[in-house]
Chains A and B, each alone.
Chain A
Amino acid sequence: MALKFRLMAAAVALVAMLAGAWVAEISREHDARAMLLPDQVITVFPDPKQLTAFALTDHENRQFDLASLKGKWSFLFFGFTHCPDICPTTLAVLARARDLIAKNAVGAEDIQFVFISVDPNRDTASKLGQYVRHFDATFFGVTGDNAQIGNLAGQLSAAYQVAITPGTENYPVYHTAAVFLVDPRARYHAVFTPPHDAETISKRFKVVRELEAGNAT
């Protein structure tokens, strides 16, 4: 049985390295052996990419940069506050995910959630503050100039387009619907694919955090 598991784990690891890893549910068997099942909720990168310098500003006008991502797991979501459906839906899911993670023994001390507005034209710091706090008092609302938003988005391969139309306040904004997971070493570690679900995100995150803690020791 143990051999079978090992073989399965080895096979999965191989596929993961080749294809960029669909990780998954952990199931504890005997002495903490992880079983990985393929799914399409999260992609964990076998070789997380180190992020490089960027300079944004948070909802209290503090600098939000590479150092802000260090020491914690960060869940990043790109959007804009005029977004009626997918942004509030995702932020509500993330708020529930945070609650679920907080109930775990390890807790939520080592995680943070960052909403990055790609629409600095309309989203001021104070607006962002009101917005993110509505979902969770600990959430960060971050934005900056277009070059710096593009800088961080580019490092995560997060696409967006702001179709500013002169004369209207209600121009459309397109943005990636994924939630990006950056590890405490500021490396792009994994990405959650929509549709998002709080239970699934919290479960998958616990697995990723455990695996990483295992790697570190």
Chain B
Amino acid sequence: MRWRHPVFVGLILALAPLPAASDAPGVSVRNAWVREAPPGMMTTAGYMELRNDTSRPQVLLAASSSGFETVMIHRTIVKDGIAGMVHASQIELAPNASLVFAPGGYHLMLMNPKRTLRAGDAVVINLEFRGGLVLPVAFEVRK
């Protein structure tokens, strides 16, 4: 399965007994991809464009995947020429706005893959938002 285009996977609360179920999610993800890790490397990163089509702020709290032991939301910061990573504990998406996870900025840090991922593969990562919304997104592995 390849994800090339506006993909959205609005999967939702349908399965979870949450009171907010009446509020349609309206958070979408496009261009979701994971960088193919060099052979033997246990760390890579995932990128995407997140869009909040609702009229309320949406807060991304965490991400998880059965494909990796650990998934963390990180941001690369270059300060005074020095690159480092900071953990982003929650990311607020403004109403009707987009946020891009891109190389050198926000990314999903993916550690210890359960299987070797090669370009062309897909791996599902669940994005967890405040209010109980969980969005499973298929990320395409790219070189």
A residues near B (Cβ < 8 Å) are: 81-86, 88-89, 127, 130-131, 133-135, 159-161, 170, 172, 174-178, 193-195
Which residues of chain B have C-beta atoms less than 8 A from A160's C-beta? 82
Which residues of chain B have C-beta atoms less than 8 A from A89's C-beta? 35, 103-104
Q: Is B107 an interface residue (CB 8 A)?
A: yes
Please provide the 9 A-B residue pairs with the shortest distance between their CB atoms, ordered closest to farther. A134-B38, A89-B103, A177-B83, A174-B84, A84-B45, A84-B43, A131-B38, A86-B83, A130-B39
Q: A160-B82, A176-B82, A194-B78 are in contact. List 7 more A-B contacts (CB 8 A).
A: A84-B45, A88-B37, A131-B40, A161-B82, A174-B84, A176-B81, A194-B83
CB distance B43 to A172 under 8 Å?
no
- Jot down 7 A-B pairs with beta carbons below 8 A, ordered by A: A81-B41, A84-B110, A85-B109, A88-B35, A88-B38, A130-B38, A131-B38
Q: Decide yes or no: A177 and B107 within 8 Å by CB, A83-B43, A135-B38 being known contacts.
A: no
CB distance A177 to B78 under 8 Å?
yes
Which residues of chain B have C-beta atoms less than 8 A from A178's C-beta? 81
User: How many angstroms between the C-alpha atoms of A200 and B11 in the bound complex?
Assistant: 41
Q: Is B85 an interface residue (CB 8 A)?
A: yes
For B42, the closest partner residue in chain A by CB is A82
For A93, the closest partner residue in chain B by CB is B103
Q: Is B76 an interface residue (CB 8 A)?
A: yes
Residues facing A in B78-136 (CB within 8 A) are: 78, 81-85, 103-104, 107, 109-111
Which residues of chain A have C-beta atoms less than 8 A from B110's C-beta? 84
Which residues of chain B have C-beta atoms less than 8 A from A135's C-beta? 38
B residues near A (Cβ < 8 Å) are: 35, 37-45, 74, 76, 78, 81-85, 103-104, 107, 109-111
CB distance B74 to A195 under 8 Å?
no
CB distance A127 to B104 under 8 Å?
no
- Tell me whether chain B's interface is mostly helix, strand or loop, or mixed: strand
User: How many angstroms between the C-alpha atoms of A135 and B37 in the bound complex?
Assistant: 10
Which residues of chain B have C-beta atoms less than 8 A from A193's C-beta? 81
For A174, the closest partner residue in chain B by CB is B84
CB distance A194 to B104 under 8 Å?
yes
Most chain-B Cβ atoms within 10 A of its Cβ — which of A88, A161, A193?
Answer: A88
User: How many angstroms between the C-alpha atoms of A83 and B37 in the bound complex?
Assistant: 11
CB distance B40 to A130 under 8 Å?
yes
CB distance B107 to A85 under 8 Å?
yes
User: How many angstroms between the C-alpha atoms of A159 and B84 in the bound complex?
Assistant: 12
Which residues of chain A have C-beta atoms less than 8 A from B109's C-beta? 84-85
Which residues of chain B have C-beta atoms less than 8 A from A172's C-beta? 84-85
For B38, the closest partner residue in chain A by CB is A134
Which residues of chain A have C-beta atoms less than 8 A from B35's C-beta? 88-89
Q: How distant is A67 from chain B, measured CB to nearest CB, in Å? A: 28
For A191, the closest partner residue in chain B by CB is B81
CB distance B81 to A85 under 8 Å?
no
CB distance B41 to A86 under 8 Å?
no
Q: How distant is B105 from chain A, measured CB to nearest CB, in Å? A: 8
CB distance A159 to B82 under 8 Å?
yes
Q: How distant is A22 from chain B, measured CB to nearest CB, in Å? A: 15
Most chain-A Cβ atoms within 10 A of its Cβ — which of B38, B76, B84?
Answer: B38
Which residues of chain A have C-beta atoms less than 8 A from B37's C-beta? 88
Which residues of chain A have C-beta atoms less than 8 A from B111's C-beta? 84, 170
Q: How distant is A59 from chain B, measured CB to nearest CB, in Å? A: 12
